[in-house]
Amino acid sequence: MAHIIGIDLGTTNSEAAYIEAGKPVVIKSAEGQSYFPSVVAFTKTGEMLVGEAAKRQAVTNPEGTVQRIKRKMGTNEKITLRGKAYTPQQISAFILQKIKKDSEEYFGEKITDAVITVPAYFNDDQRQATKDAGAIAGFNVKRIINEPTAAALAYGLDKTGDQRICVYDYGGGTLDVTVMEVGEGVFEVLATSGDTHLGGSDMDQALVDYFASEFQRKNHMDLRKDPKTHQRLLEAAEQAKIDLSSTLETEINLPYITVVNNEPRHLELKLTRAKFEEIIAPFVNRSEPPCRQAMQDAKLTAEQIDHVILVGGTTRIPMVQRRVEEIFHKKPKREVDPMECVAIGAAIQAGVLTGEIDKEIVLLDVTPLTLSIETLGGVSTPLIERNTTVPTRKSKIFSTAADSQTSVEINILQGERPMAADNKSLGRFHLDGILVAPRGIPQIEVSFDIDANGILNVSAKDLGTGKQQSIRVTGSTRLSESEIERMRAEAKQHEAEDRQRKERVEVRNNADTLLTQTERTYEELKDRFTEDDRVAIQNALKDLREKLTGDDVEAIKKAMDELTKALSKASTTIYQQAAQQRQQQQPGGQEPGGPSEGQWQPPPGGDQGGDQGSTYNADYHVKNDKKRQH
């Protein structure tokens, strides 16, 4: 059975896992890591780098590198790299494509199906954009599930009895707080809240601002204006955050950070945990209101929650752990790896879909935000309230606002504000062909249908005629099938380019090796080569060196073949000369007293060895070799 993998498409890093013998296993990248940096880059030569390779060159190539693309999912914003614009879906697809490729090498087979996670607080556009990214990468996305739900699966799969848990998911780019009931294979989400623009990367930028201001105070220069310098500061901030999660003090040491008045300047400062906590306090405190909101929506107090599960790299910070303990009045659980549990939960969901996990599991998730329609006066009229269990379908009857109106525009909204203008518009749906009638008479049933992926589908029906009407989406950021297909073709093109680059590298490496070996052999044996062979080898060596200065792979291969042929011919001549010399030293083709053709005799001393003649029966040596091996 082909594997279905679970993918945590993260802001900073992504992870993947699968089920083996009923147990989740994390997939390692081609670089041997248990995670995939969510970084994409294009070099000056047009080469695309993804993951660790892209992250390593970010300092020297900031203008060609994009990070934290997850924060732009579901928006119309495009990212320009090396003169070409890319959608967030395309950049995310490159990351997913890297995961797909490495997973296929890991398994030795094609991988087509995946379960991908998203923050619980992602809106419809963000969920659809994630699904589109999976399609562009070549995945058949079987399910989109919420990250806290996936983490709860990883935590509670083997738990017995009913428990009320809160999953506190503070990652690199988003915060999710989800209250759930878990027990006997049923995972029911009671409420979810969060902030899709609050994460560890905000803390990193705050540290960058602190480093830059300290340097500016002494040197009167803002380091943030230079992209390369800013990237160095960002990497130093990330490392300082990690260091101060386990130590009380760390040193920031960035030599030759810039030049002032033709003199190099260095950034050197000490950062204590106390100062670090002072800098990040606003971002830690911002996580409290979503926690309170989730408990309020679930109609539970902190005391009624049995366990708090920490998810995301930011939860490793001691100050964050203390704040969680203060909010929920209990120490958070540390039973699951905060970095891997979401991917593991996604793999468990994949295992349920394939039957690899035979335990019956029921996921009852919720929609994170209220879905509404704009009505007369710009009012937002709810159809599906937030924290409604999905999948669900809700309908409502609407009518015209003017006499003889034959068309209506329905603005679909997502958000909690009472006025339409303050909420997120998911799209404007046009319904045409309404019968001419006074206002308020036509009856138009609009239905919202949220599937198991949390993605909204909308339909409309004119109850007067009984006809199902078509709806055109004009304002949504979701991609059309043709756009997805075009982007999928571009992704495959990059994959083919990667293969060609790999082939070029391998061919050049093989050519360099052949050059080195041939030059060594030539120096050792040139006196035994004939003049013609020496000339042929030297010419072939020269030709291969010239071809290596270019990028024509086929020409390099041809030059390698010519060199191999020249060396092979010269080697054959040496062996022929050696055979002739031996025959001259041994008239008749055999030593005196040796065995005649077709016979054999054991060497002196039994098995101690030795060929006693130039012609012999090979069976003797086969038998003798077997004795030696035995």
Instruction: Please give the positions annotated as active site.
Output: 8, 70, 147, 169
Dist CA 593 CA 596 (whole Å): 9
**Omega within 30 of 0 (cis) for the link into 391:** yes
Distance CA 316, CA 319 (A): 9
Torsion from C-alpha of 271, 272, 276, 277, nearest 10 degrees? -170
Could you tell me whether strands 371-375 and 186-195 are parallel, antiparallel, or unpaired per DSSP bridges?
unpaired
User: And the tokens for 472?
Assistant: 């055109």
Phi, psi at 82, each rounded to 5°: 55, 40
* Under 8 Å between Cβ of 628 and 607: yes
- CB-based contacts of 538: which residues, under 8 Å, 6+ apart? 522
In one-letter notation, the amino acid at residue 472 is R
Distance from C-alpha of 592 to C-alpha of 613, rounded to nearest angstrom:
9
For residue 338, the SS3 value is coil
Dihedral, 318, 319, 320, 324 alpha carbons, nearest 10 = 100
Residue 202, C-beta contacts closer than 8 angstroms, at least 6 positions apart: 283
User: What is the Cα–Cα distance from 263 to 611, expressed in whole angstroms?
Assistant: 77
Nearest to 91 by CA among 80, 102, 103, 105: 80
Token pair for residue 614?
């130039």
